[in-house]
Structure 1
Amino acid sequence: MNQNYSTVAQRSSSVLATNKVLRNTYLLLSLTLLFSGLTAGLSMFLNMPPMTYLISVISGMVIAMFVLPRFANSTAGIGIVFLITGLLGFGLGPMLTMYASLPNGGNIITLSLGGTGIIFMGLSAYALATRKDFSFLGGFLMVGFLLVLIAALANIFLQIPAMSLAISSVVILIMSGFILYDTSRIIHGGETNYVLATIGLYMTIFNIFISLLQILGIMGNDD
């Protein structure tokens, strides 16, 4: 068992050491996650209203879709990545404030952070160690994402807790698939721009964390 674990770790380290795009992606991803944590803390300190989340997410998505691709091959692209992730982190502030106010709020946030880290690191290590090509997942993941997006929009009006729980669970599955897909693309040369790779992986982490918050929040309210 220990020998197998050591072999997997050695393979992951070898791939990371020989893939410059992957190294740059993980470095930039780490920095943007830290920056998001700072902006989220600032948002909580300022006690921003709930609408901040929606405004920040919409603004971040618009910049990611229409502005970032134009500057992805320049140093300005790095600054835009920090702008996007800073906005998304700032938008998390009101949500974290709300969960922190719950009786079990601290545990919910901590478990969500821990769960997100375990999911990301575990799947990334698997993709790095096995070097499997997960490009075949692309079509399935996009269709699944569109379907869950439609369901989420419908539930804004329906407000069914069980449906919210199901949607959050499916989002985690889909985002987990994207981690394998995106990491595989970097390893096999399908993604050669670490700025775009970073924002893709950041979005998966962001969505997994929010989904875990919602799942644990709903389960906590049932107690």
Structure 2
Amino acid sequence: MPHEHTTEHASEEEFWDAFYSESERVWSGKPNAALVREVAGMRPGSALDLGCGEGADAVWLARQGWQVTAVDISRAALERAARHAAEAGAAERIDYQRHDLAASFPAGVFDLVSAHFLHSPGDMPREQILRSAAAAVAPGGVLLIVGHAAPPGGQDNPHADMHLPTPREVLDSLDLEPQHWEVLRSEEHETSYTDREGNPATRTDNTLKLRRR
């Protein structure tokens, strides 16, 4: 989870640009395990990666044959993601777009819409964004939302006032018509990861996977 949102950064874009400028690489460079688990075996098509960060998920999807639209609010993140895609030989399959998802959303519909850890200590309207994500799923397509369910074990939480919703709360907030959607997965699970100091750690995350009928 990112550092505290301070008043010296007047906007979400400035905050996230500063966050990604702190080091040459913030994340591991590996795709999210939940993405690999839930998408491996799906027939590739068009994918929308919301909050793509440094681009590891987008690169993995592209290398599986997906045509990816990768979106982030941070220009610094998108520039880094584009470099990583070029190094991986995946650039031709990825369209990078900068969006403040509170104000604009990528055009079109997609066979997969993926939102991994779309949390922010700022004033990001997460529920509104996820409803837009659901609206962007093509008939027969999949919406995959993965989020934190709790702060890292054994660590102080710098964002104690940030609500981390359960899968049920996320589903209810989407306000979907049940006859048009099938719930494929709705669960909490333990995730292993390496923290920013290089130490192995675990935390509780959740996954909501839906298919538009």
TM-score tier by shorter-chain length is: under 0.3
Tell me the TM-score normalized by structure 1: 0.26
Over alpha carbons, which structure has the higher Rg?
1
Tell me the TM-score normalized by structure 2: 0.27
Higher RCO by CA contacts (8 Å cutoff, separation 6 or greater): 1
